[in-house]
Chains A and B, each alone.
Chain A
Amino acid sequence: MKRSDLVIIGAGPAGMAAATTAAEHGLSVTLLDEQSRPGGQIYRDVDRAVEKRGGILGPDFGHGRTLTRALRESAVEHVTGAVVWSIEDGFRISYTKGGRAAQVAADRILLATGALERPMPVPGWTLPGVMTAGAAQILLKQSGVIARRAVLVGSGPLLYLIAAQMVRAGTPPLALVETQSRADLRRAARHAGGALRGWPYLAKGLKLMAEIARARVPRFTGATDIAIEGAGRAETVSFRSGGKSRRLVCDTVLLHHGVVPNTQAARSIGVAHRWNATQAAFSPVVDRWGITGVEGVYIAGDGAGIGGAEVAEVAGRLASLQIAAEAGRLSEAERDRLAAPLFRKKARDMAIRPFLDAAFPPATEALLPEDKTIICRCEEVTAGDIRRYAQMGSLGPNQTKAFGRPGMGPCQGRYCGLTVTAILSEANGQTPDETGYFRIRPPLKPVTLGELAAMETPQQDAAE
Chain B
Amino acid sequence: MKTDSAFLELEDSPRVAVWFDGAELELPEGANLAAALLAAGVGVFRHTPVSSEPRGPFCMMGACFDCLVEIDGIVRQACMTEVVEGLRVSRPHGTGGEHEAE
A and B, direct touch (CB closer than 8 Å): yes
Give A contacts to B, CB under 8 Å. Answer: 34, 36, 41, 52-53, 56, 83, 99, 116-117, 126-132, 134-135, 138-140, 142-149, 169, 171, 231-233, 251-252, 262, 377-380, 409-411, 414-415, 445-446, 448
Can you report 23 A-B residue pairs in the complex whose CB atoms are below 8 A from each other?
Answer: A52-B11, A53-B11, A83-B62, A99-B74, A126-B66, A129-B43, A130-B58, A131-B60, A134-B59, A134-B60, A134-B61, A142-B35, A143-B31, A144-B10, A144-B11, A145-B38, A146-B7, A148-B8, A233-B101, A377-B64, A411-B65, A415-B63, A448-B74
Query: Residues of A contacting B5 with CB < 8 Å?
Result: 148
Contacts of B48 in A (CB 8 A): 380
Cβ distance B57 to chain A, nearest Cβ, rounded Å? 6
CA of A445 to CA of B77 in the docked complex: distance in angstroms? 11
B40-94 CB contacts (< 8 Å) to partner A? 43-45, 48, 50-51, 53-66, 68, 74, 80, 82
Given contacts A131-B59, A232-B102, A380-B50, contact A147 B74 (CB under 8 A): no
Please tell me if the beta carbons of A145 and B8 are within 8 angstroms of each other in the complex: yes
Which secondary structure dominates chain A's binding surface?
loop
Choose one: A135, A148, A262, A445; the contact of B60 (CB below 8 Å). A135
Q: Is B6 an interface residue (CB 8 A)?
A: yes
Give Cα distance in the complex from A328 to B101, angstroms: 61
| Bound-complex Cα distance A34 to B51 (A) | 30
Residue contact B44 to A233, C-beta cutoff 8 Å: yes
Known A129-B43, A143-B35; 8 more pairs at CB < 8 Å: A132-B60, A139-B7, A139-B38, A142-B32, A145-B10, A379-B50, A380-B53, A415-B64
CA distance A104 to B12 in the complex (A): 40
B18 close to chain A: CB less than 8 A: no
| A252 x B63 contact (CB < 8 A) | no
Contacts of A52 in B (CB 8 A): 10-11
On whether A232 and B44 interact (CB within 8 A), knowing A251-B6, A414-B64, the answer reads: yes
Q: How far is the CA of A132 from the CA of B79 in the complex (A)?
A: 14
A116 touches B53 (CB 8 A): no
Residue of A nearest to B38 (CB): A145
Contact residues in B for A117 (Cβ distance below 8 Å): 59
A143 touches B36 (CB 8 A): yes
Query: Which positions 1-36 of chain B face chain A at CB distance < 8 Å?
Result: 5-11, 28, 31-32, 35-36
Within 8 Å CB of A131, what residues of B?
57-60
**Which residues from chain B sit less than 8 Å from chain A, CB to CB?**
5-11, 28, 31-32, 35-36, 38-39, 43-45, 48, 50-51, 53-66, 68, 74, 80, 82, 101-102
Contacts of B35 in A (CB 8 A): 139, 142-143, 145
Complex CA gap A410/B63 in Å reads: 9
**Alpha-carbon distance A251/B62, docked complex (angstroms):** 23
- Decide if A132 touches B7 in the complex (CB within 8 Å): no
**With a CB–CB cut-off of 8 A, which chain B residues contact A83?**
62, 80
- Measured CB to CB, the closest approach of chain B to A243, in angstroms, equals 31
A233, B38: Cβ atoms closer than 8 Å: no
With A143-B31, A145-B38, A415-B63 already in contact, the answer to whether A132 and B6 are too (CB < 8 A) is no
Determine the distance from Cα of A379 to Cα of B55 in the docked complex, in whole angstroms: 13
Inter-chain contacts of B53 with A (CB < 8 A): 126, 380
Question: Distance (Å) between the CB of B9 and the closest chain A CB?
Answer: 6
Note all chain A residues with C-beta closer than 8 A to B28.
143
Which residues of the other chain, B, contact A143 by a CB distance below 8 angstroms? Answer: 9, 28, 31-32, 35-36, 39
**Are B11 and A132 in contact, CB atoms less than 8 angstroms apart?**
no
Q: A142-B32, A232-B102, A445-B62 are in contact. Are A147 and B6 (CB under 8 A)?
A: yes
Q: Which residues of B contact A232 (CB under 8 A)?
A: 44, 54, 101-102
Rounded to whole Å, the gap between the CB of A361 and the closest CB of chain B is: 22
A34-B10 in contact given A131-B57, A233-B44 (Cβ < 8 Å)? no
